Amino acid sequence: MKKKGWIRIFEAVLAVLLIAAVLLIVINQGYIGKKDISEKVHTDQLAVLREIELDDELRTAIVSIDSGLIPLEDNEEGFPESLKERITERIPDYLECKSKLCLMNELCALDQYQEGKDIYAQNVAITATSGEYSPKQLKLFCWVG
């Protein structure tokens, strides 16, 4: 009878150690306590892009850019300064962002990879003003700073 008691104690200790090991592995990999901010970033990006899309002055500045200069990142010459300022002032402080103008039928990707960062990308089509049709896409790439 004494052997049966020791075996149960050994099984219980082994079960506790196994559960503790699994918990340590899960915590170490960051599954617990890691916030998912993707929905918040998505909402913030869309708000900025919708504001730009609905602003006649910014839309005119984007459409009037010569298609030969495109693709165009926000740090390059020819990128509308008013657009860069609007994006900078409307992006929340917790995000760092880059924007890029591309033609509608082009792949629009970042030129420099942000190592170790989760990058969230959203785009909007800016197609025309009342007098000009020159479709382009504005893509906003953001990551937590």
pLDDT recorded at residue 125: 92
Q: Is residue 82 part of a domain?
A: yes
| Contacts of 138 by beta carbon, 8 Å cutoff, 6+ apart | 49, 52, 62, 83, 99, 100, 101, 123, 124, 126
| Residue 78 is assigned to a structural domain of this protein | yes
Whether 27 is covered by a domain: the verdict is no
What gap in Å lies between CA 119 and CA 113, rounded to an integer?
9
Q: CB–CB of 110/141 below 8 Å?
A: yes
Go through 101-116 and write b for each residue having 16 or more CB atoms within 10 A of its CB, e for each that does not.
bbeeeeebeeeeeeee
Is position 11 within any domain? Answer: no
**Tens of pLDDT along 16-29?**
999 999 888 877 77
- pTM strictly above 0.75: no
Whether 139 maps to a domain, the answer reads yes
Where in the sequence is the domain holding 91, given as residue range(s)? 38-108+115-144
- Assess if residue 124 is contained within a domain: yes
Domain assignment of residue 99, yes or no: yes
pLDDT in tens, 61-82: 998 898 888 888 988 898 999 9
What pLDDT does 31 receive? 58
55 residue type, one letter: D
Q: Is residue 2 part of a domain?
A: no
